[in-house]
Amino acid sequence: MSQVESDGLQARTYSPLWYNVGKTAFIWIYRIAFRLRVHGAENIPPRGGFLIASNHESYLDPALIGVAFPYPIHYFARKTLFDGPILGFLLPRVNVLPIEQDRPDIRGIRNAIRTVESGQPLVVFPEGSRSPDGQLQPAEPGVGLLVAKASAPVLPVRIRGAHAALPRGSGRIHFRPLSLTIGPLMKPPVPAPGLRGQDAYRSVSDQIMAAIASL
C-alpha cells in the first residue's frame, strides 16, 4: 500500500484491492447496462503524471473515466464527504483526494500538484460542476490555476450520454448508451499574452475546454 498525505488531515491510504474490486464492478455495469463505448484509448499515455480533463454531465462520470484507464487514477471529491464513516473509509482507498468546493482550497491544490508531480494522473472537471442540461458549460479558472502551478500536460476527455442516463437533480437512472472519447495528450497550456491572475487562469481553462469540445 502507498500513502497520500493531505496537509492537516489524516494520512490517506490507497488500497489496490478496493480500487480493483470497484473498477471491475463498474466495468461490468457500464458495459452491460449502459453499453459503454470508449474511443481513442490509444491516446492514453503508458504512465506518468498528467491531468485528465473531462466535461461533467453526471455523477456517473468519475467511475466512467476510471474504467477506461488500464491503471489507477486519482480523483477529487468535496471534503465533507470524508466525514461520514463509510465514504470516509472508502474514498481514500480508491484514490480520492479531498477538496473544498465553497472557497479557494490551497491545501487541495497542493495535494493535486504533489499527486501529479509524483507521476500519478488526476481527473479534473474544468466546468466545476455537473452540467444542468448535458451541454458543455464555461470553464472555471481553478483548473487553469492547477495547470499553471503543476505545469502538467493535459489529456482531454469527452463524455456523452451520462446526462441522459442520470440527469442532474434526478435520482432515477436511465440505461442509455454511454461513450467516452479520449483525445491526444496536450502540452501544458499557457495563458494568452498579456493576461494575469484570474484572467490568465481562465484563459488556460478555456483552452482545455476547447480541446474537450473538439472531440
Domain that residue 203 falls in: 2-213
Four-residue CA torsion sign, 13, 91, 150, 189: positive
Which amino acid is it at 163? Answer: H
Distance CA 8, CA 31 (A): 39
Mean pLDDT of 141-159: 91
Output the pLDDT for position 4. Answer: 44
Locate cell 446526462: which residue?
163
CATH of the domain at 168: 3.40.1130.10
What value does the mean pLDDT of the chain take?
89
**31 Cβ neighbours under 8 A, 6+ residues apart:** none
Instruction: State the total domains in the chain.
Output: 1
Return the SS3 of 107: helix
Output the pLDDT for position 174. Answer: 94
Mean pLDDT of 131-159: 91
Distance CA 39, CA 52 (A): 15
**Among the listed ranges 38-42, 53-57, 131-135, 146-150, which one has the minimum average pLDDT value?**
146-150
Confidence of residue 147 (pLDDT cuts 50, 70, 90): confident
Distance CA 182, CA 14 (A): 26
